[in-house]
Structure formats: structure tokens, C-alpha cells
């Protein structure tokens, strides 16, 4: 049966059974089952053929930055062989490439994990009626047309159209996001556009039966179920490239083009320029290659990986478990957090908040007389059990009532022992009531009832007012319904309690004989309350320029109320215009949703497809989106988002498998904490980029100008050694910087922002020019003033200056515009150690006999050392002066904007 052609929930049960050519009483025959198995296949999810680890590994080398690094490795190897210096630098680059490829393979595997987890949710067995008899079979053997029997505790084995239903309730939170079990019936649903959460005559594969019994006909198996639809969306949804990955790829391309242009120009200037002299093609080829190696930040991917790994460890300490390294930084660039309501923004436990009895409304926190009849009504007419671990098990609303009574000190176990249950009238979705009968010590019987207030009031004739029982009047009814409406407007789920005492029981115990002449005891209003810390976290996110959007399968009224309580919506405004539903989304085209998506902060009664559409609409507006969720229905949107955040405690394995990050404590506050860590990671990577590129630019300017002037200033081995010892260690140390104090008061970076944004690019230019200019000046002093007859010492002075200037400059890039002395410049012990260690390695090749010959350097005199070191140190005051000018002229301020201005 195709659910696209015929929507079974719009047909009667008889029509569906007829359409499927089956029999509701006897079921299918074995021969017919075999024929349908051949036609429809087994009831299991189908996954695409998996690529091997080797295929995934090879695919990683298609990345542009990886290709650039491979070229850099080849170039380094060529220089090493020609100069007789070995291929150590090329080996280092290859290690970086392999490390990045391994990480890529790990990331690619997450989608397969998610779909495999969907399979694990399926029911292992099903009770089916075939050949006019009931039997247990493997759920994978079910076919469309099978008649399936359900009872409490079962996992629904396939998508069913219910034929018979007796008080059936199914917990569908993993599929719909609704926080309470759905009450089922067999009645026809007229509207063909009804959402999944409101299809009361359907039972969906992999959901849990919590109450009652039912019979249903299978209308969809395997990939033709709603869970199968999710698996299909997961397999066709492409993982989004993270902002970090986009930045690295874009930076790699730009640098490559620039390097090629500069290298070619240098080659021809050296051969045909005014100071070409005796330069040969081989000489200029080596110089051009040296310049290219100097310009390529080959250590950047390795440094990025190390910084991300450090960020991963820091996040794990704060309950955010990162599954893919780029996700660490992506959180820091998040502009919108689309959050599921149940379990993330709320505690995922129905809790009584208001209690109405004796004509007054009370807070649940207030004390209550343990003899108040309301307590017995809501705890006696209740089917909650306790498992071996002492946990309450059953319907969430009933658990909330038991927990409320327990918290007040009511000893339910003793009360039931003294007043045992002897009979009951089970809950039924048509009358929306439940009653239990208890034997009293004096031989009489207590009847306890609870249910929907409007239904229970119809059966009430008396009213409990303190210690008195008085006749029930219209005034009482109006007051009770007003209290009910007031709680309902605040999105509380309201249930009423009543009771009566009778001398004897009727011969037939049913609703008509028991549920009448009741005494009204009171009302309880409950809700899945917001997490206390979530509201503060949302406020922090808003100040950081991050907007929080609630996407839930729950009802609009409930979702709006929680959003107002959390501060997602302003409770003093008319928020109806900021709330929409899945049904309304169905009426919008993708273009219209893209245009209006920023108008809505709450989406209710949505399906998995709706969630993906919402994420895509934000992304179409160039917004970086994080999505949180814990259910199967969240998995496609978790994968579609720039970063998917799963729940570690309540989350399904499906949602965890589709996520980039998992919250160990299921706490929205942890997301905001992780955002701060992510911002720090990006800022530190940006510092490393600024340090590396300004240093490389200094090297390029030095070589280019020297070539133009006809100077022999640095040899390839000098450039390679400087890149190896003064680039990598300080850059890694910069990744250990603490977060700047104002990081969570600034707006998040947008998709248009990258490593070179926020003033980094102009800083790279002026700092690179300073480094190159100072190095050229020192060479000029050495060559023309101090040692006019020994170019080798002048080269050595330039080598010392260029290396040491980069080490001193690493302290400048602790902040793009702030003075390095605005805080303790030596608070990063790793940077201090990197300075000492790299300085020792740099100067060691000059000072250690034998090694200095290998590097072709000559020990300068005291004056040569003084000039080189003082010149290197000069980078600090020069950069400080320029930063001060940029701050005082207001240029620095133009690169920053407050975070709160970014939130609509």
C-alpha cells in the first residue's frame, strides 16, 4: 500500500483492510505472506553499500589544501636532495597530510553509524495473526496486510493502521518530539495534511506502547515506514562543510595562486632584472622554490589539528563530547541554535506546578494536608509501578502525580496496603477517565477517579470544601473551569480528581455504574518544566549575538509558553506572530520560508522533513546553524545543520550517530559553554594564522627584494630551518591562549568571515612588511657597514634577525589590536617555553661547531650580534605603536560589533 497514493489514516479501518486484500479476523495465509515477502522485501532498513576504509582514505586526497601540501612536500624533497640536506621537512608535511586524511575518514563514518543505529531500534519480535491463529514471529518477516496485536511494553514493529484500540497510548517522543504519550483511537482523520503527531489512528514503527491494547494492519514495512523515511533522508542528506574547512580550503587556494605568481615573478626578475648578474636558471629555480616553500604555511593543518584536539579535551571537561574535530570551532561561529524542547530546554519530566482544592489555587511548592482527598484521588487512580532499582515506571503524567505526593510525604505504599485496590474501570480515550475501587477497613468501598476536568465534572454531584462535603453548584463548576482555563493558558496539562464512598458494589463494575455521583476533590496542573539553567544560558547566548529557536513536535500553546518562560520570546509581547506550526510550513514554498524564517522563534508540531527545511532556510540566508535533538526525528536535521548536537543521556543512538557533538549532561547551558570554547579555538587558530602568514610574508619580502637588489641573503636551508623551528612551536603555543574576556559579548562570525577577518589581514600585511624590512636593513648593515668583505656573516645576521624577529613577534599576536601589555604578556607558559626552545634551536646551528658549517653560517662579532638582536626586538615597540594608532583613530573599533546587536 503506497502511503503517498492512499493515506490510510483518512480511510476507515475496513477500507484499509480491504485495500490490502487481507482479513482482520484470520490474517494472511503462509502462501500469501511468502508472495508478499518477495514483492515488498523484508521489514528492515536498507543501507547503501559501504565504501571501504581504503576508498574513504584515498578520497580525502581530493581536498585542495591536501593537494597544496603534497606539492609542498615534493618541493621540499627536491630542495633537500639538490642541496644534500635530506627530506626531513617533506616527511613532516606527509605526516600532516596523513593525519588530516585519517580525521576525514572518521568524520565520514558518522552517517553510517546513524543509520545502523536506526536498525537497532526495531522490534525483534511481533505478535501477528496468521492462518486464523496468533503467533510470535521475527519482526523482519512482517509484510503489508499482516494483522499485528499490540499490548503495553511492546515496540511497534511496523507502521500500522489501527483496527481496534482499547485505551491504547504510545510513547512517540523519539519520532515526534511530544513529551507525553499519544492517546490512540480508530476514528477516521479527515484532513489528509494532518501531521504525524496528530495521526491518532496510526502506530509507527519503533515507538513504544505504554498503555492498553490494540490490533492493527501493517500498511508499511522497512523503508516504507516513517522511520524508513528518516533513514532515507539521512542517507541523502549531505554533511555540511564546516566554516573551518571552508576557510582552510579558501585560504589554501588564495595562497597557492599568490605563491605561484610571486615565485614566477621572482624567477624572471632574478634572470632578467637590473641586478641579475651571474644568476643561472638553476640558481633562480632554487631561489623561487625557496620562496614558495617560505610562503606556504605547511604547518597550518597540523597546528589546526592540534589546537582543535586541545579544544576537544577542554570541551570534554565541560560535558561536551566532540565527535569530529572541526565541530570544536564550528560552535564558536554559530549564529542560530535550533533547539529541540523536550529534554534539552526542559527537564523531560512532567512536574506538577499548580494544585487547586478547597476553592483555591496553590503552588505545588506549598505544603498540603496529607488527608486532602485530592492526594488519594490522583495516587489511587494510578497505574505507576516501581522497577527493581526503585524508579517509577509508567505514564509521565501519572508519575508526576506519584512524585508530587511522595515529595509531600504521602506514604502511598502504606495507604494502599490499608486500602487495597480490588477492581478498576480502566482509562479510555473516549471518556478520558480512569477509576479504581478500594476496600476500606469498615467494609465500605472507596472509588477514586481522575481524568479530564470537563469530563469528570459531568459526573460530579458534590464538592469537597475543607472538611465538608456540600452539593455541587453551577458556581462551583464555573470556578473550577475558570481555574482549569487559567492553567491551560499557561500550557499546563490539567487533570481533575474525584472520589466517593459506597456501601456496596454493583453487580457489573463499569463506567456507568461506578463513575457517577462523585465528590470533586481538586485539580492538578503539570508541565514538562524548563531547565532553570537554560534561561540564563539563552540570555548569555543572546548577549553573544546568538539567537535561540525552538523546534518541537509538541503543541504550539505548550511550546510558546515554555519559550516565554525561557526568554526565547518576550512574555510582554503578542508572540502569536513568532510561532508557527508544521501545517503552516506545509503551505509555504522553500523560497517563502527562506524569506520569512527569521520571523519565527518557535516551530510546533513539526515533522523530520520540516526540521530539515527550517535548517536549510537559515543556511540559505548564510547563517551558521547548530541543531540540538535527542530523538530519531531529529537525526536528519542534526546531520543537515552546520553542527549537530545530540543528547548523551536521553538521546537515541540514532541522534548521537548523526551528531557532531554530544552533551554528556543533556544541558542547553553546556552548549553555550561549548560556544565560548569554540570561539576561543577560532581566535587561537586565527592568532596562529596571523603569526604564520606575517612570518611567511616577511620571508617572501626579504627574498623578493633581495633578488631584485641582486643580494644573496638567505639560502634554502636557512628558510627551511626557520620555518621548522620558529613557526610550528610558537603557533601551537598560541593555540593554548586563554579566551579573551570579552569573547562572549561579541557577535559570532558570519559565513563571509574567515581567518583573515577582524583586522587580521591588514595586520599580516603591515607586520610582514616590518619583519621583511627589518631583516633587509640588518643585512644591509652587515654587508655594507660592518662586514663589507664577508657576505656570509651578513647572511648569518639576516638569518638570526629573521628567526628571532618571528619569536618576539609571537607575543604581538596575542591580540590583534590590544596592547600585549594590557594583560600579563607572559601568562602563556607554553608560549614562553616555545620561545626559549625555538630560540635555542635557531641559535644552536650558529653557535655549535660543525653544525654551523653544515648550515653555512659564520659567527658574527659582538657588534653583529647586537645589531641582529636589537633589530629583532624592535618588532615589539613598532607593532605597539601601530596598534595604538589604530585604536586611537577608531580603526580597530570598526572591526568589532556587540553581540546583542546581532540578535533580532
Residue 344 and residue 630 in contact, taking contact as beta carbons nearer than 8 Å = yes
Residue 864 and residue 783 in contact, taking contact as beta carbons nearer than 8 Å = no
Residues in CB range of 463: below 8 A, 6 or more apart: 469, 470, 471, 472, 473, 476, 519, 520
Integer CA distances (angstroms), 53 to 59, 60, 679, 872, in order: 10, 11, 33, 49
What does DSSP say about strands 468-471 and 433-439: parallel, antiparallel, or unpaired?
unpaired
User: Rounded CA gap, 389 and 210, in Å?
Assistant: 19
Q: All 3 cell numbers of residue 284?
A: 633562480
Residue 519 and residue 463 in contact, taking contact as beta carbons nearer than 8 Å = yes
User: Dihedral of CA 525/529/535/538: which sign?
Assistant: negative
Residue 129 and residue 147 in contact, taking contact as beta carbons nearer than 8 Å = yes
Q: Is 248 exposed, middle or buried (0-12, 13-18, 19+ CB in 10 A)?
A: buried
User: Rounded CA gap, 629 and 278, in Å?
Assistant: 69
User: Rounded CA gap, 216 and 197, in Å?
Assistant: 18
The one catalytic residue in 63, 89, 340, 642 is 340
User: Dihedral of CA 171/174/178/180: which sign?
Assistant: positive
Residue 305 and residue 322 in contact, taking contact as beta carbons nearer than 8 Å = no
Residue 681 and residue 332 in contact, taking contact as beta carbons nearer than 8 Å = yes
* Closest among 435, 520, 434 to 477, alpha carbons compared: 520
Q: Is 263 exposed, middle or buried (0-12, 13-18, 19+ CB in 10 A)?
A: buried
User: Rounded CA gap, 158 and 146, in Å?
Assistant: 10
Which 8-state DSSP code applies to residue 560? H
The full DSSP string for 124-173 is SEEEEEETTEEEEEEGGG--TT-EEEEETTPBP-SEEEEEEEEEEEEE-H
Collapsed DSSP state (helix, strand, coil) of residue 557: helix
CB atoms within 10 A of CB 862: 7
End-to-end CA distance of the chain: 46
Cα of 64 vs its chain's centroid, Å: 27
Collapsed DSSP state (helix, strand, coil) of residue 404: helix
Residues in CB range of 338: below 8 A, 6 or more apart: 549, 550, 551, 611, 614, 615, 618, 625, 626, 627, 628, 637, 641
The strand ranges marked E within 3-73 are: none
User: Rounded CA gap, 520 and 54, in Å?
Assistant: 71
Q: All 3 cell numbers of residue 307?
A: 589546537
User: Rounded CA gap, 116 and 657, in Å?
Assistant: 9
Collapsed DSSP state (helix, strand, coil) of residue 848: coil
Instruction: Examine the residue annotation and report whether 465 is marked as an active-site residue of this protein.
Output: no
Q: All 3 cell numbers of residue 522?
A: 481538586
User: Rounded CA gap, 87 and 85, in Å?
Assistant: 7
Beta-carbon-side half-sphere exposure of residue 811 (alpha carbons within 13 Å)? 28
Which 8-state DSSP code applies to residue 860? -
User: Which positions are catalytic?
Assistant: 340
Amino acid at each position: 500500500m503506497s502511503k503517498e497514493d492512499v493515506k490510510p489514516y483518512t480511510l476507515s479501518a475496513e477500507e484499509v483492510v480491504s485495500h490490502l486484500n487481507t482479513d482482520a479476523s484470520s490474517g494472511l495465509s503462509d502462501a500469501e505472506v511468502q508472495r508478499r515477502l518477495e514483492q515488498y522485501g523484508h521489514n528492515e532498513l536498507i543501507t547503501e553499500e559501504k565504501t571501504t576504509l581504503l576508498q574513504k582514505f584515498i578520497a580525502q586526497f581530493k581536498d585542495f589544501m591536501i593537494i597544496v601540501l603534497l606539492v609542498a612536500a615534493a618541493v621540499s624533497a627536491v630542495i633537500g636532495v639538490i642541496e644534500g640536506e635530506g627530506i626531513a621537512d617533506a616527511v613532516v608535511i606527509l605526516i600532516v597530510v596523513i593525519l588530516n586524511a585519517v580525521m576525514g575518514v572518521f568524520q565520514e563514518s558518522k552517517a553510517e553509524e546513524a543509520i545502523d543505529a536506526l536498525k537497532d531500534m526495531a522490534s525483534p519480535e511481533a505478535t501477528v495473526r496468521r492462518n486464523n491463529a496468533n503467533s510470535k514471529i521475527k519482526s523482519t518477516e512482517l509484510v503489508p496486510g499482516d494483522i499485528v496485536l499490540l499490548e503495553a511494553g511492546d515496540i511497534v514493529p511496523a507502521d500500522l493502521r489501527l483496527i481496534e484500540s482499547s485505551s491504547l497510548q504510545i510513547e512517540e517522543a523519539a519520532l515526534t518530539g511530544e513529551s507525553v504519550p499519544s492517546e490512540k483511537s480508530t476514528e477516521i482523520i479527515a484532513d489528509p495534511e494532518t501531521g504525524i503527531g496528530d495521526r491518532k489512528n496510526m502506530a509507527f514503527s519503533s515507538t513504544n506502547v505504554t498503555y492498553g491494547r490494540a490490533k492493527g494492519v501493517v500498511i508499511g514495512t522497512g523503508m516504507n515506514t516513517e522511520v524508513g523515511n528518516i533513514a532515507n533522508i539521512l542517507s541523502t542528506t549531505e554533511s555540511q562543510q564546516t566554516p573551518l574547512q571552508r576557510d582552510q580550503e579558501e585560504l589554501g587556494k588564495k595562497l597557492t595562486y599568490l605563491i605561484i605568481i610571486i615565485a614566477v615573478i621572482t624567477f624572471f626578475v632574478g634572470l632578467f632584472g637590473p641586478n641579475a648578474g651571474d644568476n643561472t636558471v638553476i640558481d633562480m629555480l632554487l631561489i623561487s622554490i625557496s620562496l614558495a616553500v617560505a610562503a606556504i604555511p605547511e604547518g597550518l593543518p597540523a597546528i589546526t589539528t592540534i589546537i582543535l584536539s586541545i579544544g576537544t579535551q577542554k570541551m570534554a571537561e565541560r560535558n561536551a563530547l566532540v565527535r569530529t574535530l572541526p565541530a570544536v570551532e564550528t560552535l564558536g561561529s554559530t549564529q542560530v541554535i535550533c533547539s529541540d524542547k523536550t529534554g534539552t530546554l526542559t527537564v523531560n519530566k512532567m512536574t506538577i506546578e499548580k494544585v487547586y482544592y478547597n476553592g483555591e489555587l496553590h503552588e505545588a511548592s506549598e505544603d498540603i494536608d496529607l488527608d486532602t482527598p485530592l492526594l488519594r484521588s490522583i495516587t489511587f487512580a494510578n497505574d505507576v509501578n516501581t522497577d527493581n532499582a526503585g524508579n517509577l515506571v509508567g505514564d509521565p503524567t501519572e508519575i508526576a502525580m506519584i512524585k508530587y505526593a511522595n515529595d509531600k510525604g504521602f506514604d502511598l505504599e502504606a495507604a494502599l496496603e490499608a486500602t487495597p485496590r480490588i477492581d478498576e474501570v480502566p482509562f479510555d480515550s473516549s471518556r478520558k477517565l480512569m477509576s479504581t475501587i478500594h476496600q476500606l477497613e469498615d467494609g465500605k468501598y472507596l472509588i477514586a477517579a481522575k481524568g479530564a476536568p470537563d469530563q469528570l465534572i459531568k459526573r460530579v454531584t458534590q464538592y469537597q470544601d475543607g472538611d465538608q462535603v456540600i452539593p455541587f453548584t453551577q458556581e462551583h463548576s464555573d470556578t473550577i473551569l475558570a481555574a482549569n482555563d487559567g492553567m491551560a493558558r499557561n500550557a499546563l496539562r490539567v487533570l481533575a480528581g474525584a472520589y466517593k464512598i459506597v456501601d456496596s458494589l454493583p453487580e457489573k463494575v463499569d463506567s456507568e455504574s461506578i463513575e457517577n455521583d462523585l465528590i470533586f476533590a481538586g485539580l492538578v496542573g503539570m508541565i514538562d518544566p524548563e531547565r532553570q539553567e537554560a534561561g540564563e544560558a539563552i540570555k548569555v547566548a543572546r548577549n553573544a549575538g546568538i539567537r535561540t529557536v525552538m523546534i518541537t513536535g509538541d503543541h504550539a500553546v505548550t511550546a510558546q509558553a515554555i519559550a516565554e518562560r525561557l526568554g526565547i520570546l518576550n512574555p510582554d509581547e503578542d508572540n502569536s506572530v513568532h510561532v508557527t506550526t508544521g501545517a503552516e510550513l506545509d503551505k509555504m514554498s522553500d523560497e517563502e520560508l527562506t524569506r520569512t524564517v527569521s520571523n519565527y522563534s518557535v516551530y510546533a508540531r513539526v515533522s523530520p522533513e520540516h526540521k530539515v527545511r527550517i535548517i536549510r532556510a537559515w543556511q540559505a540566508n548564510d547563517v551558521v546553524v547548530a541543531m540540538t535533538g535527542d530523538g530519531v526525528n531529529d537525526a536528519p536535521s542534526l546531520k543537515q545543520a552546520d553542527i549537530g548536537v545530540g543528547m548523551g543521556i536521553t538521546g537515541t543512538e540514532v541522534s548521537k550517530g548523526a551528531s557532531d557533538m554530544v552533551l554528556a549532561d543533556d544541558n542547553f547551558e553546556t552548549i553555550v559553554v561549548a560556544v565560548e570554547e569554540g570561539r576561543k579555538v577560532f581566535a587561537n587558530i586565527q592568532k596562529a594564522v596571523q603569526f604564520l602568514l606575517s612570518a611567511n610574508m616577511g620571508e617572501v619580502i626579504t627574498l623578493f627584494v633581495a633578488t631584485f637588489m641582486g643580494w644573496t641573503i638567505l639560502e634554502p636551508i636557512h628558510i627551511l630551518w626557520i620555518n621548522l623551528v620558529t613557526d610550528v612551536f610558537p603557533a601551537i603555543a598560541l593555540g593554548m591562549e586563554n579566551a579573551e574576556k570579552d569573547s562572549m559579548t561579541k557577535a559570532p562570525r558570519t559565513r563571509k568571515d574567515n581567518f583573515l577577518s577582524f583586522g587580521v589581514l591588514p595586520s599580516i600585511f603591515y607586520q610582514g612588511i616590518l619583519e621583511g624590512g627589518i631583516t633587509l636593513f640588518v643585512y644591509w648593515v652587515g654587508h655594507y657597514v660592518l662586514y663589507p668583505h664577508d657576505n656570509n656573516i651578513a647572511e648569518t645576521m639576516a638569518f638570526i634577525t629573521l628567526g628571532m624577529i618571528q619569536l618576539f613577534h609571537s607575543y604581538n599576536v596575542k591580540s590583534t589590536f590590544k596592547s600585549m601589555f594590557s594583560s600579563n604578556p607572559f601568562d602563556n607558559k607554553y608560549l614562553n617555553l616555545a620561545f626559549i626552545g625555538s630560540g635555542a634551536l635557531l641559535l644552536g646551528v650558529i653557535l655549535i661547531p660543525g653544525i654551523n658549517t653544515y648550515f653555512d653560517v659564520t659567527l658574527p662579532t659582538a657588534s653583529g650580534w647586537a645589531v641582529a638582536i636589537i633589530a629583532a626586538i624592535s618588532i615589539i615597540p613598532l607593532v605597539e605603536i601601530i596598534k595604538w594608532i589604530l585604536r586611537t583613530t577608531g580603526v580597530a573599533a570598526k572591526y568589532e560589533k556587540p553581540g546583542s546587536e546581532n540578535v533580532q
